[in-house]
Amino acid sequence: MAQSLGLLKESASQTAGPYVHIGLLPNFADIKGVYETDLGHSMLNEKTRGKRITICGAIFDGTDTPLRDALIEIWQADSAGLYNSPSELRGAADPNFTGWGRQPTNMENGEFKFETIKPGRVPFKDGRLMAPHISFWIVARGINIGLHTRMYFGDEEQANTEDPLLARIEHKVRVSTLIAPREDNTYRFDIHLQGDKETVFLDI
């Protein structure tokens, strides 16, 4: 006779906040002594190779109101297009560049900012080169599962037209939601969760 497995019921899903900053950014949450600096706060040092850039922006809800309690993580290749990862088999990445960063949105105006370097091009799974890009992961209260998207560079027009992922976006008018315009060494990347300007999010 077959034994009953007595399967457990799935627990209710929970959103990421409001306590996400306490666990991931204790210094930002004014909890001292856990880490000297919050993990992911700095991605580079004085020896990091490549062009230094700043990425700034805000995350907006469906009413165009900036989220003041969101958390963003980014990961990217170094200036030579290599990832700081054990799975990187194409060569050795810059040891002075982490390739990963974490920042909160500002409690006053909902802005975030990363100091990083412009990444090199990396191959798609079929070998075609992707345009320089940075991957974003966003969590906040009300978001059950972290959202993934990418930021491409507005001054890489030719590379962007060749990018395999951008080419797969069916509605071409939405490609612009992934392109960050440049002003001097700063790229502005605003993320819209809903509405007419909703950012393209990726199922990965």
Lowest-pLDDT choice from 20-29, 64-73, 103-112, 181-190: 20-29
Please state whether beta strands 52-60 and 191-192 pair in parallel, antiparallel, or not at all (unpaired): parallel
- Alpha-carbon torsion, ordered 36, 59, 64, 150, to 10 deg: 180
Q: Could you tell me the domains of the chain?
A: 20-192 (2.60.130.10)
Residues 6+ apart with CB under 8 A from 141: 15, 16, 17, 18, 69
- State the pLDDT at residue 9: 74
Question: Is residue 14's pLDDT more than 70?
Answer: no
In eight-state DSSP terms, residue 100 is E
Helices (H), ranges, 82-203: 157-162, 164-167
Asked if the bond preceding 18 is cis, omega within 30° of 0, the reply is yes
Measured CA to CA, the distance from residue 4 to residue 203 in angstroms comes to: 36
Per-residue model confidence as pLDDT tens digits over 108-157:
888 999 999 999 999 999 999 999 999 999 998 778 789 999 999 999 99
